[in-house]
Amino acid sequence: MLKLIVCLKQVPIVTELPWDEQAGTLRRDLASGMMNLACLHALEAALQIKEQYSADILAITMGPPAAEEVLREAIALGADRGIHLCDRIFAGSDTYATSWMLARTIKQECPDYDLILCGSYTSDSETAQVGPQLAEELDLPAAAYIEKLEIHGRTLRVRRLVDNFRETLEMEFPALVTVSLENYKPRYAGLSGLEAAFDTGNIDRLNAADVGINKSAIETDGSRTKVRKVFLRKANKENILLTGTAANVVGDFLSKYESKISWAIGKDIEEDRNDE
Ligand SMILES: Cc1cc2nc3c(=O)[nH]c(=O)nc-3n(C[C@H](O)[C@H](O)[C@H](O)COP(=O)(O)OP(=O)(O)OC[C@H]3O[C@@H](n4cnc5c(N)ncnc54)[C@H](O)[C@@H]3O)c2cc1C
């Protein structure tokens, strides 16, 4: 039986998400959470592997107490069990610290995995770094933004969209992939899944000490980046009415805004005109 790990992150519902401009952090405590969309796609890929080849799915999340909800949702959808990495000292972790702690937990709790699936990126921080950094920590072959995967014995074949072409890659288990939003459309939970989701025995909550992490380890091996400043971008908008014949309006418009348009489209409009 294949052993799959899916890394899931709870993200705030974006429309409810305020910034703390002073602290330079998101006020996650003020917004309700949901499972990050790309994580749902990664979970769906794992569920399809389970249906096709038979597999055990372990869902892992690192986050505050409320993040347990994403594990319950994963179990409702078909994951077998969950690990919730939860400790106040994890707060404010950057992507390096997040992947380092996930890697430690995986090495300790489920070292005999075949495949780790992550979402390609999150809707709140959107760095797309955690998957590749986790692969580095665990010394695994990895492919990011995959849209399809097949398993042939111990070989994983994945397809991904790169710019305008598709690339097929192969790697041996154990491996890691990050799943794009292209395919693996998330499913709805069935009634039997909902029952399993409320079973209290299938989620382990681990704190820092449980995975051998203490405050001084966080200080030396934890976050290496700091948010120096966060501010809301202010857009200066101006409404301008151009009147006259179409030719005059276009002429006026280009003479006023040509340089801005050229900059935005990365092309010199004047040159194009000379070519005609
Ligand atoms: C410089 C910097 C400083 C930061 N400082 C703070 C801070 O002070 N306070 C704060 O709250 N946040 C902070 N963050 C945000 C925090 O680092 C991210 O929330 C976290 O590291 C995950 O990164 P991401 O959301 O970009 O994940 P991505 O790399 O975009 O996520 C890809 C995939 O990785 C997996 N994944 C990501 N996070 C988790 C997780 N927690 N558990 C399980 N799987 C996961 C999921 O499968 C996800 O789909 C900071 C980010 C940066 C870049």
- Whether residue 95 lies inside any domain: the answer is yes
Ligand 1 centroid vs 157 CA: distance in angstroms? 27
- Please state, in angstroms and rounded to a whole number, the distance separating the CA atoms of residues 208 and 87: 6
Whether 187 and 256 map to the same domain: the answer is: no
Smallest CA-to-CA distance from 52 within 148, 169, 160, 195 is with: 148
Whether 128 and 167 map to the same domain: the answer is: yes
- Whether residue 240 lies inside any domain: the answer is no
Q: Indicate the pTM of the whole model.
A: 0.85
Whether 62 and 187 map to the same domain: the answer is: yes
CATH of the domain at 56: 3.40.50.620
Q: Which atom of ligand 1 is nearest to the CA of 124?
A: 25
Whether 131 and 258 map to the same domain: the answer is: no
- What is the domain extent for residue 61? 2-221
- Whether residue 135 lies inside any domain: the answer is yes
Number of domains in the chain: 2
Ligand 1 centroid vs 44 CA: distance in angstroms? 21
- Whether residue 230 lies inside any domain: the answer is no
Q: Which atom of ligand 1 is nearest to the CA of 94?
A: 17
Residues of the chain with pLDDT below 70 are: 24, 26, 28, 265-276
- Give the pLDDT confidence score for residue 268 in this predicted structure: 67
Q: Is the minimum distance from the CB of 95 to ligand 1 under 6 angstroms?
A: yes
Q: Is the minimum distance from the CB of 222 to ligand 1 under 6 angstroms?
A: no
- Give the pLDDT confidence score for residue 269 in this predicted structure: 63
Ligand 1 centroid vs 45 CA: distance in angstroms? 21
Whether 174 and 250 map to the same domain: the answer is: no
- Whether residue 172 lies inside any domain: the answer is yes
Pocket residue to mutate for ligand 1, from 19, 22, 36, 127, most atoms within 8 A of Cβ: 127
Whether 164 and 250 map to the same domain: the answer is: no
- Whether residue 228 lies inside any domain: the answer is no
Ligand 1 centroid vs 48 CA: distance in angstroms? 26
Whether 140 and 263 map to the same domain: the answer is: no
Ligand 1 centroid vs 15 CA: distance in angstroms? 18
Q: Report which protein residue has its CA nearest ligand 1's atom 7.
A: 92
- Whether residue 232 lies inside any domain: the answer is no
Whether 17 and 119 map to the same domain: the answer is: yes
Whether 160 and 259 map to the same domain: the answer is: no
Whether 180 and 263 map to the same domain: the answer is: no
Pocket residue to mutate for ligand 1, from 9, 10, 100, most atoms within 8 A of Cβ: 9
Secondary structure of the chain in HEC code, one letter for each residue: CEEEEEECCEEECHHHCCEECCCCEECHHHCCEEECHHHHHHHHHHHHHHHHHCEEEEEEEECCHHHHHHHHHHHHHCCCEEEEECCHHHCCCCHHHHHHHHHHHHHHHCCCCCEEEEECCCCCCCCCCHHHHHHHHHCCCEEEEEEEEEEECCEEEEEEEECCEEEEEEEECCEEEEECCCCCCCCCCCHHHHHHHCCHHHEEEECCHHHCCCHHHHHHHCCCCCCCCCCCCCCCCCCCCCCCCHHHHHHHHHHHHHHHHHHHHCCCHHHHHHHC
Burial 249-268 (b: 16+ CB within 10 A, else e): eeeeeeeeeeeeeeeeeeee
Q: Is the minimum distance from the CB of 61 to ligand 1 under 6 angstroms?
A: yes
Residue ending a domain, among 221, 238, 266, is 221
Q: Is the minimum distance from the CB of 229 to ligand 1 under 6 angstroms?
A: no
Whether 152 and 42 map to the same domain: the answer is: yes
- Please state, in angstroms and rounded to a whole number, the distance separating the CA atoms of residues 157 and 276: 48
The residue type at 68 = E
- Whether residue 152 lies inside any domain: the answer is yes
Whether 214 and 94 map to the same domain: the answer is: yes
